[in-house]
Amino acid sequence: MSIVQVSNLRKSFGDLDVLKNITFEIEKNQVVAVIGPSGSGKSTMLRSLIHLEQIDGGSVSVGGQDLVKEGVYANHQELKRITSKMGMVFQHFNLFPHLTVKENLELAPKYVKGEQGDQIAQRSTELLKKVGLSDKANVYPSKLSGGQKQRVAIARALMMNPEIMLFDEPTSALDPELTGEVLQVIKQLAAEQITMIIVTHEMGFAKEVADKILFMDQGEITESGTPEEIFMNPKSERTKAFINYVL
């Protein structure tokens, strides 16, 4: 069963057609890596799925519910329900600097969902353990390394029990020696079969964890397939050139 269905998605910024005719499907429990040159529309595509960008045409459905159907968006309440199925992790962490790690994790569940405090506290303790940061619960983000900040951001997204996790270049802002610890956490989630879409330049990682790769170029998915198909036997010269360039 497809958990995400995107068809003919179009998006422009002024005169610039950033997403031209994006169509793809993701199955439940799949890990999908999105690769492609800078400026090809990867972030805009991901942001469109969670309604951080308003699209100009096409359809997006998540978990069988239409976020937008042929350019017409669902009502406010449904949009909230559908987007809350997804958690997103950004390149620049976006932690709240004036809140401790634990407070960063607990803020959204407390104020957005109105859950019980003890349940929330229990989950934040568990998730900090999962990302290896139990000892950092009461520190402020400024005291953390980039890799630790990103692991907090992942735990924070998981607090909402998302069905799908979206990652936009989660390691691009990190020093090389810190990328491993973040990729390790994402790999662990992949092993737990959380459905994920990951925009990444880490080709080794994509090859290892992805079930499916989408290659984007100039606002289009020009090629998609298994890691083997894309990396060992790319169909287009453009994909070949990109892969040879980044590897």
- Select the residue interacting with Mg ion from 30, 40, 43, 124 (CB under 5 A): 43
Q: Which does residue 232 touch among Mg ion, ligand ADP, none (CB within 5 to 8 A, set by kind)?
A: none
The tokens of 178 are what? 């810190």
Q: Which does residue 96 touch among ligand ADP, Mg ion, none (CB within 5 to 8 A, set by kind)?
A: none
Number of other residues whose CB lies within 10 A of the CB of residue 221: 22
Smallest separation (angstroms) from Mg ion to the CB of 21? 19
Closer CB to ligand ADP, residue 57 or residue 132?
57
Q: Which does residue 41 touch among ligand ADP, Mg ion, none (CB within 5 to 8 A, set by kind)?
A: ligand ADP
Smallest separation (angstroms) from Mg ion to the CB of 200? 10
Smallest separation (angstroms) from ligand ADP to the CB of 53? 8
Smallest separation (angstroms) from Mg ion to the CB of 96? 22
Beta bridge partners of 24: 6
61 binds Mg ion (CB under 5 A): no
- Three-state SS for the chain is CEEEEEEEEEEEECCEEEEEEEEEEEECCCEEEEECCCCCCHHHHHHHHCCCCCCCEEEEEECCEEEEECCEECCHHHHHHHHCCEEEECCCCCCCCCCCHHHHHHHHHHHHHCCCHHHHHHHHHHHHHHCCCHHHCCCCHHHCCHHHHHHHHHHHHHCCCCCEEEEECCCCCCCHHHHHHHHHHHHHHHHCCCEEEEECCCHHHHHHHCCEEEEEECCEEEEEECHHHHHHCCCCHHHHHHHHHHC
Smallest separation (angstroms) from Mg ion to the CB of 167? 11
* List of residues contacting ligand ADP (CB under 6 A): 13, 16, 18, 38-44
Choose the binding region for Mg ion from 43-51, 66-74, 80-88, 115-123 (rule: CB under 5 A).
43-51
Distances in Å between the Cα of 152 and the Cα atoms of 75, 107, 142 are 32, 13, 12
Smallest separation (angstroms) from ligand ADP to the CB of 135? 34
Q: Which does residue 39 touch among ligand ADP, Mg ion, none (CB within 5 to 8 A, set by kind)?
A: ligand ADP
Site residue total, Mg ion (CB under 5 A): 2
200 binds Mg ion (CB under 5 A): no
Choose the binding region for Mg ion from 3-11, 38-46, 77-85, 216-224 (rule: CB under 5 A).
38-46
Closer CB to Mg ion, residue 41 or residue 109?
41
Q: Which residues bind Mg ion (CB under 5 A)?
A: 42-43
